[in-house]
Every structure is written in structure tokens, then in C-alpha cells.
Structure 1
Amino acid sequence: MPGTVGRVPTPSAPLSGSPVRADAAAAVLAYDWAGTALGPRHCWDPAVRAVVDLVLASPVPMALAYGDDLLLIYNDGYAELIGEHHPAAVGRPAAEVFHELWRLPGVGNVIERVYRDGGTFLEKESTLQLVRDRSGVVEQAVFTCGYSPVCDGGGRVVAVLAVAAETTHVTQQLQSLSEVAAALAGTLTLDDVARVALRYAITTFDADRVAFGVDEGGGGWRMVRRIRGELIDEADERLPPLWRRTPADWPDPLVQAARTGNPLITSAGQPLRETAVDRHDQKIVSLAAAPLHASVVRGGLSVGHQAARTWSAAERALLAASAELIGQAAERARRFETQHGTAQLLQRSMLPEHLPDLPRLRIAARYDPGVDGNAAGGDFYDAFLLPTGELGVVLGDVAGHDVRAAARMGQVRAALRALALTDPRPDAVLAGLDRLVASLGTEAGTPELFVTVIFGVIDAERQELTLASAGHPAPLIRRCAPDQRPYAEYVDLPTGAPLGLGARPAVTTVRFAPGDTLLLFSDGVIERRRQSLSVGLATLADAVGAAGSGDPRALCAVASAAVPEATEDDVAVLAVEHALVPSRSAAMEVPAEPTAPSRVRRWLTAQLGEWRVPESLISAAVLCTSELTTNALLHAGTAARVEIDLSAERLLVSVADSGTRGAVTRAQTDTLSSRGRGLGLIEELSDAWGTDPTVRGSTVWFELLLPAD
């Protein structure tokens, strides 16, 4: 009777001291009612008998509380709710059966009031703790309970009828709809939207297969699905979904719903017969597909089950509401990706696509946009050979996060290289740039152009590094002599004034011996809100000094992540290592074919064996490279390039693809784009790994340190 009860054990499981539950109707009919207010069954009032017959025949949980003592008569559905109280509750006063709850507000007083006054009462939501199975797992169930007076043939109220309808499923679905709206609010890309949509749909609709798709803008479609039981771990949830491209006339119900704007429901049949890609699709018997109903993006969401299923009006409405929320998020994501892709293409097109490949000077760079990655910035780097055979390196920052800042950055970078090729002295180059920036400011009517630059010349033969700075942070050098423990120190370099203010930069020359690595960085690496600059500088130096090797690519990754918390500024890093001995390198172009990973494994095994790399490292390198190659082919769908570089202290392997998964261009790729198993392998087997976004596609790399001997 009460709307809220405590933990109720399963009625189908035997309880200590209790018999196995009998059928509720049989228990009511077998009860000796002669000694109660009801009297013998053959003497019952016809109106009361009719209500009792209704209760016992109903599949809905119902109970009748008769007379002043409110004696209980109930059906099987209600017996399941009261669990261990059945069958002893039959014919007993409700106040005794539920004595622990009867005096709580909204329980006994409500039933007594209905019996006394003859009114009705609806308890819109009651929560029951139910044990659903023999395993003892406790679940919360939500019910709507109604109480009505029952009159005898003379019109006198003689009982209270209680009807309980379980609304757990509907309540959970509405809660899920609220949760998915909150989750979609934080999505930026279509990858993000797809992850949220698939996770939500397969849980809310208890589905065996769910799919999400959008138009490609050129007539085709891009679709992704999830299967019940698919192993999706925490790492997988952060990774790019496995999109599949289909032609414009693809007969999948999702595409048809998206194209027509009308939902498609198949209660029983083979809805994916013409488009099934594997046995998971072939097993789907019932499927509902709803269009996104977005103004710009066409797409749909489909939910499939392996058994015949009738979709209620409430479930159809929930699916339509879900698809509408997902459509709005997809539209926002498409706009973001368009703006973001344009900004990043502009940004990266002004940076060097290839850095010099030298035997004794190994070079790497990394650029990560700040803010939300949706605007072009002014950070830049460059490295180029000078006519003297020396290496020129530069890193600068033009204030701003817009197209104008990126354009000025391009002008400054081009002018610097031209000046350096004429006269490579760092002070002369920066003096010429100072005049250029002043001229640009006057031309634009903005004399306050804020541009900082550091320029250096590396002479590998003389083991010297000559630097000059115009308002830029001093660089860091990781020292690693053969007989010393590595450490990092900042170059004692006068900062000077930013360009455009009549800069007269001072020049500093320091030792740059084999084993050392130079690190140039922008202020986005070390500056954080509510933290002093000195803390950021010290944290960066500690991280670089503790790095496992002086490999420039690894140090770029270390520097980018050295200072905790996110930055709103761009991050640019350039590293140059003076190698102890020349490294050996090789590369292989990998076609987008199923046999490509096996070809890479054979090639890599042979190449590393020829270089006499230890067998244990060969096994780890081959396994990791195979995973990365498979990942590149799956996610990018294009050919890839595998590069290996062997130095005296480490083996570096990188896999680069040239795809962006459709229109998606990610600002940062902080996680390996492999399925969960691949990510775990790389983290477990390598000494360092990372990802580098490039002008086209992305590069994933890992490093294995060689034994000391």
C-alpha cells in the first residue's frame, strides 16, 4: 500500500524462514475470510466482489485495503513489489504489514484519508528499492501510485483501491535526455558529437546497435556506429570514432530518414539487409531512424534491436527529441570545424612544412594553437641552412589571434629569412626586422605592433651557438656530456626590446657541444594565470633536464606539457640536438591497403636487424609500429609514411598520415589515435611517445632508449 518501501527481496527467491512465493490470486482465494470484516466469499457485496476480481486479473500492480482495518487483497504484480511480506500480508491490516513505514508522511495518513473522506489521491513519483533477480542486485524503481475509494452496493466507502504503475523506464529516459543535452553542450567537433550520441543512444534505448551519420557536403555520407558489448574503455572514448563513408544513394534507413526528413520505423524484419557490413548488422530485426532536423547539417540517428519491437508514442517522441538535440550540436560542430580548419590551414601554411635534415643537427618543432583552436595566431618558428653552412633557427611571436596576426607573422618570417641569407649576424638580422615592423605599424596606423623574436646561428664545426633576442624569453639548453648527468640551463641572454621600438639587440655566444639540445619556446609554454613567470621557467627547466633523452621531437612534447593547466596562448617549440654521432634513418611509404601493416613489419624487422639493434627492441618497435600503421590507415583512410631514426642513445619511429577524417581538423591531438589496445601497447613498450599535428594530417611517434652498453 505505501508508496515508498525499503529494500524488498525478490519474491521468486526463497527467504530464510519464508516459503517460496505462491500465486497471489490462489493465496487470496484460499484465505479464510469468514473471520474478517469481509465475511465468507459467497457473502461478499457484489460491487466489492467485482473490484476484487478486477484486482486479481489485472497485470498492473493493484491492491485493495478493506474495512476499518484496511485488510489487504492484492494481485501478482503487487506481490512482487512487497516481496518478503507476501503471502503473509494477505488478509492482514495494512498498518501491520507496513508498520515501519505507516507513520511516515504521505503513507498511512494518505490511505486513511481516502478511506475516511472518499476522495482520491495520486502520488506522482515513488521510489522503491527492489531486488530484481536472484543475484541480489538492488535497483531503484520509480512508480506512479493512485488511491481511490471503493463503495459497496449502498454507496458507502468500504475500501481503498491502490494502483501502481512503474515509470522507471520513462523517468530514466527523461533524465538521460537532460544528461545528453548537458554533454552535447560541451562538444566542439563532429567526433565529439558522435561519441556523445552513440553512448547516449545505446544506453537510453537499451539498443543492440546504434548509428549516427551526417552528410559530407559533396553528396556522400559519413557514418559511425556502436555495437552492444563493444569494448569501449576510457581511452577509446577520447579517440576519433571510426567513420565510414558511403555514397549519396546509400539505401540505409538512417540515410533515407535524413534525406526525406521523416522517421522510419521497422518493428520486425531485416531493415539493414541491403547495407549490412557484418553479422552485427545482419542480426538487427527492429530499427528506428530519426532525422536530425538541423537547418544546415543533414543527418540522422538510428537505433536497432535484435528482436522484434514495437515503438510506443512516448519512445518515438524521445527519439525525435534526442535527434533534434544531436542535430543542433552537429550544426555547431560543423561551423566550428569550418572556421577552425580555415584558421589552422592559414596558420600552418605559413610555417615550414619540412625542416632541414642534417647528419649532426637533428631538428623538430611543434605548434599548438591556444584559445579554442578556432583562430589563427602569430607564433612562428623556422630553421634553415645559411650560405656559410651554418644553421639559422628562429622563434617569434606576433601579438594577436586573428588573420591579421597570422599575415604579419608570415611577413616577419619571410623577411627574417631574407635578411639572414644576406647577413646572418643575429644582431644585424633583428635590426633589419625592427625597421620592417616599425614600417608595418606606420602603414597600418598602429604603432603598437608587439612582435618578439629570438634568432640564432648554430655552427656545428666550432660547437658554438650565437643568439640575439628582441623581447623574447631566453632559450634553454639541455646539456648532456658523455660522462655527466643531463641538466638544463637557460642561456644568459639580454632580452632587449620588442621589434618596432628601435631595438638594438645584444649578441651572446655560448658553447653548443655534441650531446646538447637547444630549446626555443614561446611564452605560451611557461605563462599561466595565477602563477608567476619564474615558476613556469623553473618547471620547464626541471622537465627538460629530467627528460629521458635529448631527442628534439621528444623534448618538444615534454616542453609543451611541462607546465600544468591549460594556456590560452599559442604554444610554439623548436628543438635542435647536436648529435654525438650521426644518426641513421630510413623511410617507407605505406599504401592504404589491408596488407600494408604486414609489409611494414617485414621491412622494419629487416632494417633494424641490419643496423644490429637489440632483438628485444626490434620486437617492441615492430609491434608498436604495426599498431600505429593500422591506426593511420583506419582513421585517415590514406597512405602513410613510416620513418625510423637510430642514434647512439635511442630509436625513434614515426608514422605520418595525410588525412583529416573528413572535415575534421583537431587543434590538439593529446591522445594516440589508436583503439584502446594500441594506446596501451605504446604506453607500455615505449620510453616516450607523442603526436604532432602537421599541415596535412598528423604524425604519431614513439621512442625506445638503447641499452647503455
Structure 2
Amino acid sequence: MAMALAYGDDLTLIYNDCCAELLGSRHPAAFAQPAAQIFAETWRARAVGDIIQRVYRTGEPFLERETSLPLRATAGRADQAIFVRGHCAVRDDAGRVIGVLTVAAETTQMTQQLQSLSELSTALAGTVTLDDVARVALRHAVNSFNADQVAFGVDDGMGWRLVRRVRGDVLDEADERLPPLWRRHPTDSPAPLIVAARDGVPVYTSDGQPLRDTATDRHDEKVRALATLPLRTASLHGALTLGYQTPYPWLPAERALLSAWAELVAQAAERARRFETQHGTAQLLQRSMLPENLPELPRLRMAARYAPGVDGNAAGGDFYDAFTLPDGRLAVVLGDVAGHDVRAAALMGQVRAALRALALGEPDPAIVLRGLDRLVTSLGAEAHSDELFVTVVYGVIDPATNELTLASAGHPAPLLRRGKPGERPAATYVSVPPGVPLGLDGRRTTSTVDFLPGDTLLLFSDGVVERRHRDLSDGLRRLSTALATATGGDPRTLCAVATSAVPGTTEDDVAVLAVEHARTPSRSASMAVPAEPTAPGRVRRWMTAQLTAWQVPEPMIGAAVLCASELATNALLHAGTAARVEIDLSSERLLVSVADSGTRGTVTRARTDTLSSRGRGLGLIEQLSDAWGTDPTVRGSTVWFEMLLPG
């Protein structure tokens, strides 16, 4: 506590060591000097002198609320500090005022922490998932409370999941765009965070070894002071811990501040839990109505991508499908049901199921669309609504005759990417009569075009090319240009190219389906990857042996094995589940994909120099591969990369 006595009519300054520290370079020359001389720059400007002189004249005490004073003079510069100051008269034996005693308590840190609560509230308002809440809460605690270690944990079904941040640790959270590294704990874990989450009682340890019995590393062992704060809401139980490696008193004001911090985090976490539940239900509904796997044919390779529009929190009406017909031909379809709600998703499911049933009986595209006309008309009459709006493009591919037969019901025409070896590819829209949307009983006609080896067909929804305040023709032109200039005709690559061809965001759903007529059959192999620390090593050994047997060039084997190992590690870290590695080798390229069955987090594409050591593998893949991307699946996500063969 800084204390100073202004003595006598000259208000000569006498002070203690704490006050000397605040005076900085002015000490010791300031001792026994007039206060007006020592604080010449603030004596009048900030009414400092008026207050002390009034107390000296009247003898009445005065309490100053928080004020900012430039008292720390360091290197010729005065730093601002915030204090609460009390001034009282000092009297002699006769009762006469002979001086003024000033006691100053610095509240700079506490004031800054209170101000940071407003910043925390603003940051938490923008969070959507528990991953977001964890990132914001941990970053705020380390920066605002100067903590050595912070942890955040929530209930998770049969147990708990925790995420931690350590001051100076760049391995876990340096790249804020990657999902936090959660660790799972059993329900009966004795960890202080989990005990507080179960009991709902805050615990403050000023000095000791609070994490000794549950320490997982040296960072836990070094913690001596720990605040454990429960998070209790209607739909969530959890807790926060904040620790220091030196003893800490946990004053009442700081405890109140920490309680306010925990309350803000708890409210944000509850909102995130509700959003994730609703979001997961909508996504499960949407993806359960899409095919879980596309057909695997010797000469026809396929890939698809779907992304919900709006905020991703509602089921949409875009759909795609691909299935083999009884005569060996391949049926492909992509449609769009207007709306972003459960009703649109339900109608989409009915149309998709009806189309498959009709096609298996009579695959002719015109006949199938006429049958769907009757279905949509019947559903509209049943619902007493004439607002059912469904567009669809349906085609049949015959690899034996190299022909593609298409029919459209008000849907954008598909793109056909064609290129002979040694020539620059071209992408043109298939000339197919657009027709009218389903339910309007329009005339249905078909169009047949060549679908030759080396060609790739792309079906897409209007969310791929439509943007607000942008002409539709511009989006169609950009899409065809992007496909023509793509590095290869592989379906997975073209799906990624198509979804990013038109700049800007869209509020509509996005669906694409690509089919490549390969010149030669490809060779494929797959491996199940267990959720174990040794899994990346197994992937490396298996891929090396497989690619060597296929006589892949040795430099490409090394790069592919390294990238696949990084993806397997990424899947284990962020999904925490078993995964599957698939490799597909054609005469032109090597395609490697790693699919997990987790539901948390997505991989964010970024440049190498902006990623932490955990995310640096993704930058490495971007450097070593010719194309890469991520695709959501029914039960998780798939990360893939493609390498073109030399020559």
C-alpha cells in the first residue's frame, strides 16, 4: 500500500517504499521536497493540489474514486496508472492540522479486467459452437488474468471433455482457426475441474499442489494456486480453472470478477450447446437423405459435395444421387427443392426416393420426369398448396456406347469437360431443353450427347453460380472457365473447383456431382485406421508397400506417404475416432483420402506461414499436392489430396 505524508505549510513529502516504487526515477530526490514541486505537471491540471490543500485547510477527509495518474516515470516517460486514494488530516496534540496523509491503492489491473469483461461479452456473442466458446474463454483468461494455465470442460454424454491452454504453449491454440484439442475424461474423474462441474461449488486454492493427483504433465505439476469455477445452466454442466505457478491470494474482488467471467462463459456455452444440437439434427436429416456412398465402377469415377446455405442450421432441399440400373448403365441426378426447412428436406427425400423407384423400372429420362410431375402435383394437391417448386436434371450414362442421355425440369444445364491427350480441355454446357419445374406437367424431352473416355460431367445446383447483386451469366461463365482450366478432370478435384469458382457468399444450398469417364481403369486400395497413437505409423508402412507394388515413382511415394500420415494424425486429433484411408491410382494421378466418423470441427485451408505446428501439416499438403480439399460426409468428413503423375 503506497502511503505519503504531506507535512507542514509547504506540504513536504515523506513516503514509504511502496510509494517510492511508484515514483520511479523521481525517488530519492523527491523525499522531503514540497509536493507541489514533485508533482508540478499534475498539481493543478488534475486538481491534485486542490484536494490536498483543501484537506489541509479544513481537516475533512476526502476519498477519490478511481483516477488515472501518470506516476511511474520510466525512461523519461510517465505511464498511466489507476488508483483509489484516500486523504485524511494529521493533527498534533493540540488538534491542529499539521499535514495530510494519502493512502493509495492501485487498481489498474482490476480496472482493466473489468473492462475486458465487456470485450469478452462481445467476443462470446459471436461464438456459435463449443469450440468457439473454448477458444474465446481460454484466450481471454490468459491475456486478461495473466494466468499460467486455463482449462475449460463440459459434460459430454458418458463423460467429460476438457481443453487446456498454457501460457507460452504454441502447440495447442496458436492457430485459432483449428479446432481445440479436447481430451476426454471419465465421469468419476477426480480432476478438480470435473469435481467442481459435478458439485457446482467453486474452490480457491491459494498455495499448494491442487493438480498433483491428476497431473498429466509438468505444467499441471507446477500449478500452486488454482481457482475452479463451475458452469451450471439448464442444459450444460461444466467448469473453468485458472491457475498460477506462484501462490496467489484470490482477493474477494477478484473472486467476484471470476464469477462474472464464468457466468458469461456459461451462458455462451449453453447457447452453443443448443445450436450444436439443432445444427446436428438438421445436418443429420439433410445428409441421411443423401447417398452415403456413390457407386464404384471400373470406368466411371464419381464424387459429390453438398454444403447447406443460410447459416447451416436448417435442412435444405438440394439433393444428388447416383445409382446403377439393372442393365449396367449409371443414373445420375441433381435437384433443388425451394426452401430451407424440414418441409423442403422432406419433399426432397420423397422426390429422390420416387425418382430412383421410377428409374429402376423405366430409366428413360423423359418417362421418369413425367412420373415425378404426377408425384409433385399430387403432393401439392394434398397440401392445398401451389407453391411446391422443384427443379431436377436426370441423366443416364452408358459406358458401353459412350453416350449420355439427359432431361431437365427447369434446372441449369450440366457442364461437360472434354479434352484429348495433349490438348487443352474445354468445358461447355450440355444442350438440353430446360423444360419447366416439376408439378407443372410440361413437355419432357431428352438430349443425347457423346460421353467419351476422358470426359467429365458436372451437375450442379444454382447455389454454385448465383450471387446477390451479380449477373447469373457471369457465374455460369466463371464456372465453365474454372473447370476448363482445372489441373485435371478428377471428379473430387472438379467438385472443389466448382464450389469455389464464383467469388462471394451464397444463402442458397450448394450441391455438385461429378462423373469422370476414365480412359483406363484405376487401381484402388483402402485401410482401416484405428483410433490409436500408432495409427499414423501403420498408414505410412501400408502406403509405402502398396505404392511401391504399383511402381509409383519413388519421390511421389515419399510425398504421398508424408501427406497421408499428416491427414491420419489430423483425423485422430480432431475427430477422435477411427478413420479410413483410401488410395486410387489412375494413369494420370494418385488420389488419397482420409475419412473420419467424427462430427466436431472442420479443417480450415490456410497458408503454411499462418499455421501452428499442429496445422502446419495442412500447409505441407498444399505445397506437395496438386489439389486438396475437404468434403462433409453423412457421418463425418473426408480430407483428400491429388498428385499428378509425371508425364
Measured after TM superposition, the shift of residue 452 of structure 1 is: 0.7
Letter in 1 for 2:530: P
Question: For 2:213, what is the secondary structure of its paired residue?
Answer: coil
Tell me the equivalent position of 2:554. 615
Measured after TM superposition, the shift of residue 111 of structure 1 is: 4.7
Tell me the equivalent position of 1:339. 278
Distance 1:426 1:256, change over 3 A: same
Among residues 136, 142, 150, which one is paired with 1:202 in the alignment? Answer: 142
Tell me the equivalent position of 1:624. 563
Q: Return 321-330 or 534-543, whichever deviates more.
A: 534-543
Q: Which runs of 5+ in 1 are unaligned?
A: 1-59
Letter in 2 for 1:393: V
Letter in 2 for 1:181: S
Distance 1:77 1:361, change over 3 A: same
Contact 2:579 2:597 in 1 (8 A): yes
Among residues 3, 14, 18, which one is paired with 1:73 in the alignment? Answer: 14
Tell me the equivalent position of 2:112. 172
Among residues 123, 126, 130, which one is paired with 1:183 in the alignment? Answer: 123
Measured after TM superposition, the shift of residue 681 of structure 1 is: 2.1
Tell me the equivalent position of 2:220. 281
**Structure 2 Cα separation of the partners of residues 388 and 560 of structure 1:** 33
Tell me the equivalent position of 1:215. 155
Confirm or deny that 1:299 pairs with 2:244.
Answer: no
Among residues 463, 488, 501, which one is paired with 2:440 in the alignment? Answer: 501
Deviation string 1:204-263 (CA, Å, 9 cap, x unpaired) is: 332232222222234x22222222221158873222222222222111111211111111
Alignment of 1:346-361 (within 5 A): 346-361=285-300
Letter in 1 for 2:67: E
Measured after TM superposition, the shift of residue 113 of structure 1 is: 5.1
Give aligned-pair identity as a percent.
Answer: 69
Deviation string 1:483-523 (CA, Å, 9 cap, x unpaired) is: 22234333333322111011223433334333332221112
Alignment of 1:321-400 (within 5 A): 321-400=260-339
Contact 1:293 1:323 in 2 (8 A): no
Among residues 56, 62, 70, which one is paired with 2:3 in the alignment? Answer: 62
**Structure 1 Cα separation of the partners of residues 79 and 53 of structure 2:** 29
Contact 2:365 2:407 in 1 (8 A): yes
Question: For 1:274, what is the secondary structure of its paired residue?
Answer: helix
Distance 1:470 1:594, change over 3 A: same
**Structure 1 Cα separation of the partners of residues 89 and 624 of structure 2:** 72
Confirm or deny that 1:90 pairs with 2:31.
Answer: yes
Q: Return 593-602 or 110-119, whichever deviates more.
A: 110-119
Letter in 2 for 1:345: L
Tell me the equivalent position of 2:545. 606
Contact 2:291 2:321 in 1 (8 A): yes
Question: For 1:83, what is the secondary structure of its paired residue?
Answer: helix
Contact 1:232 1:676 in 2 (8 A): no
Distance 1:547 1:403, change over 3 A: same
Confirm or deny that 1:588 pairs with 2:527.
Answer: yes
Letter in 2 for 1:697: G
Confirm or deny that 1:122 pairs with 2:64.
Answer: yes
Contact 2:177 2:604 in 1 (8 A): no
Measured after TM superposition, the shift of residue 292 of structure 1 is: 0.5
**Structure 2 Cα separation of the partners of residues 223 and 478 of structure 1:** 48
Distance 1:329 1:605, change over 3 A: same
Contact 2:336 2:391 in 1 (8 A): yes
**Structure 2 Cα separation of the partners of residues 511 and 108 of structure 1:** 94
**Structure 1 Cα separation of the partners of residues 71 and 478 of structure 2:** 52
**Structure 2 Cα separation of the partners of residues 612 and 137 of structure 1:** 70
Larger radius of gyration: 1
Letter in 2 for 1:277: T
**Structure 1 Cα separation of the partners of residues 54 and 451 of structure 2:** 92
Among residues 484, 490, 493, which one is paired with 2:423 in the alignment? Answer: 484
Among residues 311, 316, 339, which one is paired with 2:250 in the alignment? Answer: 311
Deviation string 1:190-212 (CA, Å, 9 cap, x unpaired) is: 22222222222233332232222
Letter in 1 for 2:576: G
**Structure 2 Cα separation of the partners of residues 479 and 502 of structure 1:** 34
Among residues 530, 534, 542, which one is paired with 2:469 in the alignment? Answer: 530
Q: How high is the TM-score relative to the length of structure 2?
A: 0.92
Letter in 1 for 2:638: T
Distance 1:361 1:83, change over 3 A: same
Contact 2:22 2:71 in 1 (8 A): no
Alignment of 1:533-612 (within 5 A): 533-612=472-551
Letter in 2 for 1:397: D
Letter in 1 for 2:137: A
Q: Return 280-289 or 413-422, whichever deviates more.
A: 280-289
Measured after TM superposition, the shift of residue 187 of structure 1 is: 1.7
Question: For 1:237, what is the secondary structure of its paired residue?
Answer: coil
Confirm or deny that 1:453 pairs with 2:395.
Answer: no
Tell me the equivalent position of 1:40. none
**Structure 2 Cα separation of the partners of residues 137 and 658 of structure 1:** 58
Q: Give the alignment's Cα RMSD to 1 decimal.
A: 2.7
Contact 2:71 2:81 in 1 (8 A): yes
Tell me the equivalent position of 1:658. 597
Q: How high is the TM-score relative to the length of structure 1?
A: 0.84
Measured after TM superposition, the shift of residue 354 of structure 1 is: 0.7
Tell me the equivalent position of 2:642. 703
Question: For 2:242, what is the secondary structure of its paired residue?
Answer: strand
Question: For 2:212, what is the secondary structure of its paired residue?
Answer: coil
Contact 2:305 2:513 in 1 (8 A): yes
Distance 1:137 1:571, change over 3 A: farther
**Structure 2 Cα separation of the partners of residues 577 and 363 of structure 1:** 6
Q: Which runs of 5+ in 2 are unaligned?
A: none
Distance 1:213 1:577, change over 3 A: same
Letter in 2 for 1:186: G
Contact 2:165 2:173 in 1 (8 A): no
Contact 1:239 1:671 in 2 (8 A): no
Question: For 1:367, what is the secondary structure of its paired residue?
Answer: strand
**Structure 2 Cα separation of the partners of residues 528 and 234 of structure 1:** 35
Tell me the equivalent position of 1:269. 208
Measured after TM superposition, the shift of residue 355 of structure 1 is: 0.4
Measured after TM superposition, the shift of residue 456 of structure 1 is: 1.6
**Structure 1 Cα separation of the partners of residues 40 and 411 of structure 2:** 78
Measured after TM superposition, the shift of residue 629 of structure 1 is: 1.0
Question: For 1:236, what is the secondary structure of its paired residue?
Answer: coil
Distance 1:641 1:138, change over 3 A: farther
Measured after TM superposition, the shift of residue 118 of structure 1 is: 5.4
Letter in 2 for 1:182: T
Deviation string 1:346-379 (CA, Å, 9 cap, x unpaired) is: 2111111110112222100011112222221111
Measured after TM superposition, the shift of residue 382 of structure 1 is: 0.5
Distance 1:234 1:317, change over 3 A: closer
Deviation string 1:593-643 (CA, Å, 9 cap, x unpaired) is: 222211110111111122222222212111111111122223333221100
Letter in 2 for 1:498: P
Question: For 1:424, what is the secondary structure of its paired residue?
Answer: coil
Size of the aligned set, in residue pairs, is: 641
Question: For 1:255, what is the secondary structure of its paired residue?
Answer: helix
**Structure 2 Cα separation of the partners of residues 180 and 596 of structure 1:** 39
**Structure 2 Cα separation of the partners of residues 234 and 688 of structure 1:** 27
Distance 1:341 1:110, change over 3 A: same
Contact 2:83 2:107 in 1 (8 A): yes
**Structure 2 Cα separation of the partners of residues 114 and 564 of structure 1:** 69
Contact 2:322 2:330 in 1 (8 A): yes
Tell me the equivalent position of 2:369. 430
Contact 2:120 2:136 in 1 (8 A): yes
Measured after TM superposition, the shift of residue 140 of structure 1 is: 5.3
Letter in 2 for 1:602: R
Deviation string 1:519-557 (CA, Å, 9 cap, x unpaired) is: 211122222223332333233333333322222112212
